[in-house]
Amino acid sequence: MISRLRIAVAISFFASASLDADSVRQRLSLNEGWSFVRGSVEDAAKSSDWESVKLPHSWNVEDAFDRLEAPDHVVAMDYYYRGLGTYRLDIEASRDWEGRRVEVLFEGALQRTRVWCNDVFLGEYVGGYSAFSFDLTPHLNLDAANELVVEVDNSYHFDIPPHRADYTMYGGLYRDAWLVVTDPLHLSKVFVDTPNVSQESAQVAVRTTVRNDHSEAAEGSLEAIFKGPDGKAMGRSSAAFVLAGGSETSVDLNGLSLPNPALWSPASPNLYTVELALKLKDEIVDQRQQRFGLRWFRFDPNRGFILNGSPLKVQGVNRHQDRAGYGFAVPNRLHREDIELIKAMGANFVRLAHYPQDPAVLEACDELGLLVWEEIPVVTGVGTEAFAATAKNMLRDMIEQHYNHPSIVVWGLMNETIRRQLDEELFWTVDLCRDLNALAKELDPSRVTAQAQFAARGTDIFDHSDIRGWNRYFGWYYDDFEGFGEWLDAQREVEPEAVIFISEYGAGIKRGYHLENPSQSDFTETWGTAFHKAHWKALMERPWVGGSTVWNMFDFGSEEKGGNIPGINQKGLADFDRRPKDVYYFYQSQWAEKLMAYIVSHTWVNRTGRIGETKTLEVFSNGDAVELFLNGNSLGRQTRQPGWHEWLWSTQLKEGINKLRAVAVKDGEIVEDNLLINYTVNLLEVEEGLE
């Protein structure tokens, strides 16, 4: 294969970038130097169209948004390319790797991936949203170039979730890739358990899997040092083991108790670290640093979410992982920026819908303090046995790979799988939910399980998760948004013991689109703001609601969505480029601690009205008092009233430029916001009015 594939581009990779020769475990970035061509491995061998790419990479960054051009590569219902793509990379293997174990690790590829090294087929991974690795050790030629070939397939497959979902499935090696170089005797899995945590003390245990790829037996020990958030050592633990060659075993460390723990919470995201050293006789052969957090929580049908013993109102959003100009191939710094934006809005919870997301996302949630519901992509429909098996593998991978993140509190099993199916499919769906729930509980009894549904259709599906997530679109797809509160009350009356979580509610909004007289589902910011106000008011007034997550934090790619921007689901609080809409500031005024003021609306500066017409001006603020000035004159200082509060002023605007200044005050702090409005008097309407 090497010679056939080296036709066009042969970029060699030197594994030197982040190599630390002294380190017993090396992690080398494999993001640079790839070549890519559309098509299968066989097609690629004949192709001369190779292009140089670096990871993260996706082949659908553009064609997922060009459907108006009706491209000829239409596959099934998708207008973007869903098929095969082939990547290749030369790896310059170092002589220092003699006697070492070398594996290639991909953080994610959508969604079926086959890997070869120097023409030897290493295997296939089916998934799309979790990491996977292959052992390269027996196939590498040291001191020489080695060829890695990767075929990725994002086409529809009946046995791979999701069958269909309202988001674009951008194909490619869309996350980071690494070479991991270790001793043949190494730690392959590390889980930190925190079974009992209280204000006074925290029990901590570590479960590991140690793998011995030497041919001879190993007699060794595992040693741990636990460090607090300030980096100070707080305790030690160790265990000895004997392990036959070519085998693996569990080595666990129990019984450690940490006094007066610094608890993890969105307000104080304290992180502990356990430093693990794997020793063969007295020599350290592997090392891992694993962060963890100490907290306890539960969802209560009457009191909502309780964290570390106190109720915490869940202020949540959903997040898809794509972004304008990147598709799914978003670099880590932008993943982190998303979490920062969510956090700056004052949210304390994120549902990572509808699939496991990048390690950078989970790390940011741990560090910045954002509670997480993470789920597998069983969305809309389910298939039969092979589909169920894939779904279970996805659940296992998600839980094992993200187990140590203190931010995660909920594992999600499925989304809107109960629809208008045949009875037989309903039966499979409930069955699958039961199995997934049991598996999640077996792998991780410390967290709660959830599912998001639009309907249960008489099934007992909600009995197979701890939380019942409801996706509700009052005032968007049906009814009126004012009906949402009544629906919540009715739901509670039917099942007072259930934890009700509103996993989705949202409205399509085009940033910068305003109308004087908005109407339902018209995509205006004006109407969308009214929608969110009504929803949040209803949620705020009901402390028993387990939590809620807005659909969605950001606009996202959805080939099937019409809307008024084709190919984009516009229910974001910020647009696909991450520019906040008015509703972002509305939530910030409700949720954030840091003082803010926003005159509604910075994207509505050209306005019209009739002569003598009185206009309502609004400010979003979390201040205790807000004063609004128009052209230098105060329109009045208002103070916050208990309960639901809105900052509104009625006034007339003058023709031409009007200068608005809002001044908000809280705890001796002051912020202000300024806006110029260009006001035009609509004479036509005046004349009509006079007639």
Pick the closer one to ligand ADA by CB: 279 or 532.
532
Q: Which DSSP state fits 68?
A: G
Q: Which positions lie near ligand ADA, rule CB under 6 A?
A: 166, 415-416, 471, 504, 551, 569, 571
By the 8 A CB rule, do 663 and 639 touch? no
659, 670 contact by CB (below 8 A): no
**CB of residue 504 to ligand ADA, shortest distance in Å:** 5
CB nearer ligand ADA, residue 194 or residue 569 = 569
Count of all residues that appear for the chain in the document: 691
Tell me the closest approach of the beta carbon of residue 461 to ligand ADA, in angstroms. Answer: 15
Minimum CB distance to ligand ADA smaller for 477 or for 644: 477
Q: How far is the CB of 379 from ligand ADA (least distance, A)?
A: 7
Q: Which residue has the tokens 């000035």?
A: 629
The three-state (H, E, C) secondary structure of 535-558, written as one string: HHHHHHCCCCCCEEEECCCECEEC
- Residue 588 Cβ vs ligand ADA, minimum distance, rounded to whole Å: 22
Q: Which is nearer to ligand ADA, 501 or 551 (CB)?
A: 551
Residue 8 CA to residue 13 CA, distance in Å, equals 16
- Would you say 305 or 355 has its CB closer to ligand ADA? 355
Minimum Å gap between C-beta 100 and ligand ADA is 44
Residues assigned a catalytic role: 416
Q: At 175, is the secondary structure helix, strand, or coil? A: coil
Closer CB to ligand ADA, 188 or 521, in the complex: 521
Residue 571 near residue 577 (C-beta atoms within 8 A): no
The per-residue b/e assignment along 191-228, b for 16 or more CB within 10 angstroms, e otherwise, is bbbbeebeeeebbbebebebbbbbeeebebebbbbbbb
- For 58, 100, 251, the CA distances from 26, given in Å and listed in that order, are 27, 11, 22
Distance CA 82, CA 199 (A): 52
Q: 130 with 357: CB under 8 angstroms?
A: no
* Shortest distance (Å) from residue 552 CB to ligand ADA: 7
Torsion of CA 316, 320, 323, 324, to 10 degrees: -100
Task: Compute the distance between CA of residue 318 and CA of residue 162 in angstroms, rounded to an integer.
Answer: 18
Quote the distance between the C-alpha of residue 162 and its chain's center: 17
Q: Toward ligand ADA, which CB reaches closer, 117 or 500?
A: 500
How far apart are CB 154 and ligand ADA at their closest, in Å?
Answer: 18
Question: Cβ contacts of residue 605 below 8 Å, gap of 6+?
Answer: 675, 676, 677, 678
Measured at CB, which residue is nearest to ligand ADA? 166
Residue 352: beta bridge partners? 374
Residue 628 CA from chain centroid, whole number: 38
